[in-house]
Amino acid sequence: MKSKIFTPKVLLVGSIILFAAIMRLVPHYPNFTPVAAIALFGGAHLGKRWLSFLIPLTALFISDLIIGFHGFMLPVYASFILVVLLGNLLKNNIKIHTVAGASLAASTLFFLVTNFSVWLVAPYYPANFAGLMASYSAGLPFFYSGMLGDLFYSTVFFGGFYFIQQHVPVFKTQKA
């Protein structure tokens, strides 16, 4: 009986995501990681909705087991769940400009959610508008490098997958 879950496309997309999770473990510039691109790519290319969440979030979790956890994991994972949903919206409209826009939106979403969470919970900033703005200002260097990482890795994943689809026809017609 042929498996409907482990299609060549699912195995390829899953392999790309696993590779990206491994890339989190090598030394890198702060926030220049493939994390948002993993979630965006998985959301866009894994046709079964539950797989589009399971594979990227599992890859992130496994790499976090090695890297270590911190007190802000909930907003981080919530951000990436939203990025998978953003990737789901790309599913039928994967073009250079939509991927670039979604990548920038993913970076911005992550920045807004995580810095808001730090401001809300941590004692680093006053509990007022000025404190919130200070939290966002302090995070700007990480936002910029995160945005560059998201754009770079989204280009590599989406572009690489497109290249493979053009040269290996089974991936063009495969449903994940």
pLDDT of 1 higher than 50: no
Residue 3 lies in a domain: no
Rg (CA), the chain: 17
Q: Is residue 41 part of a domain?
A: yes
Task: State the Cα–Cα distance between residues 9 and 176, nearest whole angstrom.
Answer: 6
Alpha helices in 91-128 (DSSP H): 96-121
pLDDT digits (tens, 9 = 90+) for 127-154: 999 999 999 999 999 999 999 999 999 9
Q: Each residue of 23-81: pLDDT tens digit?
A: 888 888 888 888 899 899 989 988 788 888 888 888 888 888 888 888 888 999 999 99
CATH number of the domain that 15 lies in?
Answer: 1.10.1760
Whether pLDDT at 172 is above 80: no
For residue 1, is it within any domain?
no
109 to 2, 10, 89, 134: CA distances (angstroms)? 39, 27, 15, 18
| pLDDT for the residue numbered 6 | 75
% of the chain surpassing 90 pLDDT: 52
Dist. CA 7–CA 54, nearest whole Å:
16
In a domain, 22, yes or no: yes
User: The dihedral of CA 135, 153, 25, 72: what is its sign?
Assistant: positive
Number of domains in the chain: 1
The residue segments making up the domain with residue 112 are: 8-173
